[in-house]
Amino acid sequence: IPVTTQGSQQTQPPQKHYGITSPISLAAPKETDCILTQKLIETLKPFGVFEEEEELQRRILILGKLNNLVKEWIREISESKNLPQSVIENVGGKIFTFGSYRLGVHTKGADIDALCVAPRHVDRSDFFTSFYDKLKLQEEVKDLRIWIVVLFVFQIDILFARLALQTIPEDLDLRDDSLLKNLDIRCIRSLNGCRVTDEILHLVPNIDNFRLTLRAIKLWAKRHNIYSNILGFLGGVSWAMLVARTCQLYPNAIASTLVHKFFLVFSKWEWPNPVLLKQPEECNLNLPVWDPRVNPSDRYHLMPIITPAYPQQNSTYNVSVSTRMVMVEEFKQGLAITDEILLSKAEWSKLFEAPNFFQKYKHYIVLLASAPTEKQRLEWVGLVESKIRILVGSLEKNEFITLAHVNPQSFPAPKENPDKEEFRTMWVIGLVFKKTENSENLSVDLTYDIQSFTDTVYRQAINSKMFEVDMKIAAMHVKRKQLHQLLPNHVLQKKKKHSTEGVKLTALNDSSLDLSMDSDNSMSVPSPTSATKTSPLNSSGSSQGRNSPAPAVTAASVTNIQATEVSVPQVNSSESSGGTSSESIPQTATQPAISPPPKPTVSRVVSSTRNAATSGNAATKIPTPIVGVKRTSSPHKEESPKKTKTEEKTSSTDLSDIPALPANPIPVIKNSIKLRLNR
User: What digits encode the pLDDT tens for the residues 417-450?
Assistant: 777 777 889 999 999 988 766 656 677 888 888 8
First to last CA, the chain: 85
Q: Where are the alpha helices (DSSP H) in 130-206?
A: 132-136, 185-202
Domain boundaries, the chain: 18-47+203-355, 51-202, 358-487+670-678
Per-residue pLDDT, 400: 87
Per-residue pLDDT, 674: 66
What's the Cα-to-Cα distance from 278 to each of 196, 423, 590, rounded to whole Å? Answer: 12, 47, 11
User: What digits encode the pLDDT tens for the residues 403-414?
Assistant: 999 999 988 887
For residue 222, give the nearest of 305, 110, 306 by alpha carbon: 110
pLDDT top residue among 99 and 108: 99
At 645, is the secondary structure helix, strand, or coil?
helix
Binding site annotation covers 233? no
Q: What percent of the chain has pLDDT over 70?
A: 68
Per-residue pLDDT, 677: 54
Q: What's the CA angle centered on 477, arms 371 and 354, to 5 degrees?
A: 85
Residue 415, C-beta contacts closer than 8 angstroms, at least 6 positions apart: 422, 424, 514, 516, 517, 518
473 bridge partner residues? 369, 553
Binding site annotation covers 218? yes
pLDDT bracket for residue 605 (50, 70, 90): very low
Q: What is the mean pLDDT of residues 117-131?
A: 92
Residue 564, C-beta contacts closer than 8 angstroms, at least 6 positions apart: none
Q: What is the mean pLDDT of residues 116-131?
A: 93
For residue 636, give the nearest of 649, 654, 655, 660 by alpha carbon: 654
Binding site annotation covers 236? yes
How far is Cα 525 from Cα 534, in angstroms, rounded to an integer? 12
Of the given ranges (150-164, 447-461, 615-629), which has the lowest mean pLDDT? 615-629
Q: Where are the alpha helices (DSSP H) in 253-373?
A: 255-267, 321-342, 357-360
Mean pLDDT, the chain, whole residue set: 75
Mind telling me the catalytic residues? 100, 111, 113, 157, 218, 227
Compute how many other C-beta atoms are within 10 angstroms of the C-beta atom of residue 9: 7
51-202 is a CATH 3.30.460.10 domain: yes
Give the best-scoring range by mean pLDDT among 233-247, 387-401, 457-471: 233-247
Q: What is the dihedral of CA 654, 660, 663, 668, to 10 degrees?
A: -10
Q: Where are the alpha helices (DSSP H) in 144-230?
A: 185-202, 207-223
Per-residue pLDDT, 449: 85
User: What digits encode the pLDDT tens for the residues 36-64?
Assistant: 999 999 999 999 899 888 888 989 999 99
Q: What's the CA angle centered on 605, arms 604 and 606, to 5 degrees?
A: 105
How far is Cα 470 from Cα 370, in angstroms, rounded to an integer? 8
Binding site annotation covers 237? yes
Per-residue pLDDT, 660: 38
Binding site annotation covers 595? no
559-562 and 674-678: which strand pairing?
A: parallel
Binding site annotation covers 616? no
112-118 and 94-98: which strand pairing?
A: antiparallel
Buried b (16+ CB within 10 A) or exposed e, 192-216: bbbbbbbbbbebbbbeebbbbbbbb
Binding site annotation covers 111? yes
Binding site annotation covers 310? no
User: What digits encode the pLDDT tens for the residues 232-256?
Assistant: 999 999 999 999 999 999 999 999 9
193 bridge partner residues? none
Give the best-scoring range by mean pLDDT among 48-57, 111-120, 138-147, 274-283: 111-120
Fold (topology level) of 18-47+203-355 = Poly(a)-polymerase, middle domain (1.10.1410)
| Full strand arrangement of the beta sheet holding 441-445 | 441-445, 674-678, 559-562
For residue 670, give the nearest of 507, 428, 494, 526 by alpha carbon: 507
How far is Cα 181 from Cα 187, in angstroms, rounded to an integer? 11
160 bridge partner residues? 116
Q: Residue 342 carries which side chain, given as an amino acid letter?
A: L
CB 43 within 8 A of CB 352: yes
Element of type H or E holding 91: none
CATH of domain 358-487+670-678: 3.30.70.590
Binding site annotation covers 227? yes
How far is Cα 563 from Cα 557, in angstroms, rounded to an integer? 19
Is the confidence at residue 618, as pLDDT, over 80? no
Binding site annotation covers 107? yes
What's the Cα-to-Cα distance from 286 to each of 187, 196, 562, rounded to whole Å? Answer: 15, 19, 57
- The Cα diameter of the chain in Å comes to 100
For residue 204, give the nearest of 141, 258, 165 by alpha carbon: 258
95 bridge partner residues? 116
φ, ψ (nearest 5 deg) of residue 192: -60, -40
For residue 269, give the nearest of 24, 635, 578, 28 by alpha carbon: 24
> Model's pTM, two decimal places?
0.74
Binding site annotation covers 434? no
Per-residue pLDDT, 631: 38
